[in-house]
Amino acid sequence: MAEDQEYEVKSKKKAKGPGTAAKAIVGAGVLGMVGLLAYPLIAPDNKAPLETSGSLEFQEGSPDNSFARIQPGEAEPEPSFDFSGVDAQLEEQRRAMAERERALQEQVRQLEAQLRGISDNAGAGQQELAEQISAAVTAANEENARILREMQAAMNQQIEGLQARLSEAEQQNASAEMARLEAERLAAERLAQDAEAQRLAEQQAAAERERRAELERIRQEQRAIMAARIKSPSVIYDERASSGSTDQSAGQSSPTSRNPTSDERNRAFVESGASPVEVTSAEVIANPSRTVVQGTMIAATLENAIDSSLPGAVTAMVNEPVYSFDGSGILIPSGSKVFGQYSSDISLGQGRILVRWSRLVTPEGQSVQIAAYGGDQQGRSGVTGRVNSRFGMRFGGAALVSLIGAAPSIAANAYASDSELARDTAEDIGDDLANASADVINEYATLPPIITVEQGARVTIMVDRDLEFY
């Protein structure tokens, strides 16, 4: 039966000597129990406290206090210590320890007897103990496997988190690298475009130089042909045109001092056709969607009134949006400010004030310099307003001059019957008065009119150049 039990334990545990292992485990457990039981017996008790003396406060006048007396007294003999009580206590502790040692030895003998009995009976319960050990080992293996699985799962989660962070970092690096490559590509494209534009400009300049050289060559050929025709013996050449300079240097009448003949006019007409023709190259508007071209009309309203008595500044607000050249967007929105100056140089019969606009500011803060004329609502140059011709002042002054001039004549006629001297004196006074006041009063006769324009009048501004906004 014991051999069958050993075979079964070996088949489960796959270990050598299951009986020896069981005995060792049982022996270790018994020794542990013996140690636990023997410790309180072997440990000594706490020693009894020794007697000590107490401290007292110094009291004056006490017979035992030598510090209270002025004169030192005789030294008192020190009391002898009695060790009889301590020896008795030590003897009693030795007897107690001897009794405890005998009791402990008795318990050890009993435990050894029990241990021998357990060893004798170990064969009967070996199979059950082996099964318990196998079950414990299996449970421990399962617990270890479970802990390993949990640790593996936690490690996998950490690895996945690290991989996720690593992938995010790689994506960010990839995005940064793509952005850098895109910037490099754009820079390369910009350089290529600049190089292409420079190449085209150089080609256009070379073509322009070739065209001008060709035109100059044709012009020289035409001049040579014209000179050959003039010098041809089959053509009658009038030498009077060339002799004009000789006549002029000799002090004779020059062609400018006399009317040109019909032949001279015809010759001048023919020669004017041989002059070179100016050629202007067309230019392409670089950015039509951001350009307001020359001639665009801007409708605005005056923010301050105008009086032509003195020159001054004028401000207007744009009340209609102005679109770009291609009509894709508004470049000058409503509410933009226009600044300018008006002139006070008004001639007789003039009914308009000349206004010059010099600056335009948009609500977005863009400012552009212009030099445009101001006009009325229909675009005619000058701003119309109420005209004060000052008719009464000018013609009243003329009437006053006439009266002043007529007064001496009336006075002379009144004194004509009295004395010739009185009449001459009145005429002289009247002439002097008329001459003195005529210059002053004549200035009133030439006063220019005054033109006033009310605040809020509608005006137009014609753009004089191409304006490019960003």
What was the pLDDT predicted at 403?
A: 73
Predicted confidence (pLDDT) per residue in 151-197, tens digit: 878 877 877 877 788 778 888 888 888 888 888 888 888 888 888 88
- The residues with which 452 forms a beta bridge, in sequence order, are 307, 386
Predicted confidence (pLDDT) per residue in 270-325, tens digit: 777 666 667 778 888 888 999 999 999 999 999 999 999 899 999 999 999 999 99
- Nearest 5°: CA angle at 285, between 283 and 287? 155
Nearest partner of 386 among 304, 452, 302, judged by Cα: 452
Helices (H), 231-239: none
Asked if residue 457 has pLDDT above 60, the reply is yes
Amino acid code (one letter) for 73: G
Asked if residue 137 has pLDDT above 80, the reply is no
Residue with tokens 């140059």: 381
pTM of the model: 0.39
What was the pLDDT predicted at 81?
A: 47
Measured CA to CA, the distance from residue 432 to residue 425 in angstroms comes to 11
